[in-house]
Amino acid sequence: MPDTLTARLQDQFDAELETRADFTIDQPLERYRAVDHSVWQQLHVRQTELLKGRACEAFLEGVARLGLPSSHVPSFDALNEKLARATGWSVVAVPGLVPEPVFFEHLAHRRLPVTWWMRRPDQLDYLQEPDLFHDLFGHVPLLMHPVFADYMQAYGQTALAAGNAGALPLLARLYWYTVEFGLIRDASGSHGMKIYGAGIVSSKSEALYSLESDAPNRIGFDLERVMQTRYRIDTFQKSYFVIDDFNQLFELARTDLAPLLAKLADATPHPAGTILATDRIITGGSGAGWTAGGDV
């Protein structure tokens, strides 16, 4: 529990960051200390090694093409040159989680909000709020992939256009089970699957758990199913949804979701670990270690 002095210093520290109306700031390169670069390096080296054979080819290719430095926190300006050339995307620095409409507005214009600060050494293996490593290493490599880049923009446009408030939980679940915790078919992967979700690629323990544990369900992706399935933010996922390939997301990006969002707005969502008779089950979970409650 941060003591009040730390919290006060942190507030003062953040207050000096000039935040613009769209919640963006200039990446404060001068604020990264040796400990921040060291945490980046530890995470980058560890995850890059761990993800060989576990992350999908498109992700590994994106990492290589981005040329993320290993020894220090990357400069967003340097990254943006490569990203813009590849798919017209750019990353913008933000102080942390921004309000959903602001987030959707950025995605709709091919801008990815990236938290500017690095986690502390004692948070190396887990922190709940996304930090620079999660946002940059987790989310940016796939933005080098044209189809995934289109999906992310279309997601933002759809979310911005979603009039009724009932649509937002549906869209949050879609984001969660694809962009954050998605798996993809790949014959050379464990159980014939590999990882593409940012929440998994940026986590040592979940990169292993999502592919190799017997506890979770692994279910073929289905849009309506995903939109009606609650999720966990405090533990590993109880279910992972598996796309066949990125074209499945490409098709989704081109679908007018408004009718579906209206149809499902009042539907009662399924608990996170549910298995339905209509599910295309790839591996059914044992449920070992699951804790009750906590579904979002």
Q: Which residues bind ligand HBI (CB under 6 A)?
A: 94, 97-98, 100, 103, 113, 115, 130, 172, 175
**234 interacts with, out of Fe ion, ligand HBI, none, CB within 5 to 8 A per kind:** none
- Name the minimum Å distance from CB 53 to ligand HBI: 27
Residues 164-203 that bind Fe ion (CB under 5 A): 198
**94 interacts with, out of Fe ion, ligand HBI, none, CB within 5 to 8 A per kind:** ligand HBI
In the block, residue with structure tokens 């600060």:
117
103 vs 151, beta carbon nearer ligand HBI = 103
DSSP H or E run through 69: none
114 vs 219, beta carbon nearer Fe ion = 114
> Do 279 and 273 contact (CB within 8 A), yes or no?
no
> Do 144 and 83 contact (CB within 8 A), yes or no?
yes
Residues 22-45, buried b or exposed e (16+ Cβ, 10 A)?
ebbeebeeeebeeebeebbeebbe
Q: Rounded to the nearest 5 degrees, what angle is found at the Cα of 266, between the Cα atoms of 265 and 267?
A: 100
**175 interacts with, out of ligand HBI, Fe ion, none, CB within 5 to 8 A per kind:** ligand HBI
Neighbours of 279 (CB within 10 A): 16
Q: Which residue from 185, 166, 182, 284 is spatially nearest to 228, judged by alpha carbons?
A: 166
100 vs 224, beta carbon nearer ligand HBI = 100
In the block, residue with structure tokens 């464990």:
190
132 vs 185, beta carbon nearer ligand HBI = 132
- Name the minimum Å distance from CB 97 to ligand HBI: 4
Enter the tokens of residue 229.
């399935």
Q: What is the DSSP string of 89-119?
A: -EEEEESS---HHHHHHHHHTTEEEEE-PPP
279 vs 295, beta carbon nearer ligand HBI = 295
105 vs 186, beta carbon nearer ligand HBI = 105
- Name the minimum Å distance from CB 226 to ligand HBI: 13
- Name the minimum Å distance from CB 251 to ligand HBI: 21
Task: Round to whole Å and give the CA distance between 28 and 114.
Answer: 12
Three-state DSSP class for residue 100: helix
- Name the minimum Å distance from CB 94 to ligand HBI: 5
The DSSP code for 109 is: T
Name the one range near Fe ion by CB under 5 A: 7-15, 124-132, 213-221, 288-296.
Answer: 124-132
- Name the minimum Å distance from CB 192 to ligand HBI: 28
Residues that bind Fe ion (CB under 5 A): 130, 198
